[in-house]
Structure 1
Amino acid sequence: MAKVKLNIQEGEPSSFDLYDEDGKVGEMIFDIQGKDLTVYHTEIEPEKEGKGYAKMLLDAMVAYTRKNELMVIPMCPYVHVQFKRHEELYQDIWNKSNEN
């Protein structure tokens, strides 16, 4: 069973790291400035794609954001597409101030 672990780093980007029986298989890189959580990158090991792991990372990030009353700036293409595709699910945490 896969698990997501929060890895907070001081002075550099943090991550949600995804582990399964084979070890670390994915990550979502983010940074927090004030009340904004900026997601930069989501990556799953190629051999682990298609198992819903990216969605697990997304769900963990969204839960953390809501719990900590943050707003998301989705710079990561995966997160941005999910926010646009399912805007009704994320409108309460989507900081659109950087949208074009």
Structure 2
Amino acid sequence: MSTEVRNNTAMERFEIYVDGAIAGYAEYQDTASERAFVHTEIYPSYERQGYATQLVGTALAGTRREGFGVLPMCPLVHHFVQTHPEYIASVPQWARQRLGLPQ
């Protein structure tokens, strides 16, 4: 199966496609310097196949490349950041304590 993650800026979300069909998305809201991830959804027929991890990892890497800080408001993105410590530095210092992330 081929997968692709795209940033759909018009809808403010990253989308994951599997063999050309949309399998899920991670919605965000941008401020001047941060990108708040507010909701992530993987459609039922694509659950438990690693697509959420691929989607969020690619979305966070792209966000970092664009120069935004990450605000992991969505529980799935929050968990991803907690379990992938290389992304903690992408969360602004002021937000880490509020979100229960390591300093």
Give the shorter-chain TM-score range.
Answer: 0.7 to 0.9
Which ranges of structure 2 fall in alignment gaps of 5 or more residues? Answer: none
TM-score under structure 1 length normalisation: 0.85
Aligned to 1:89: 86
- The CA deviation string for residues 38-62 of structure 1, in whole angstroms up to 9 with x for no partner, is 0001110111111111111112112
Aligned equivalent of 1:18: 16
Identity %: 28
Q: 2:37 aligns with which of 14, 36, 39?
A: 39
Unpaired stretches in structure 1, ≥5 consecutive residues: none
User: TM-score normalized by structure 2?
Assistant: 0.83
Q: Find the counterpart in structure 1 of residue 6 from structure 2.
A: 5
RMSD of aligned residue pairs (Cα, Å):
1.6
Runs of 4+ in 1 over 6 A off after TM superposition: none
Aligned residues: 96
Match of 2:72 among 47, 64, 74: 74
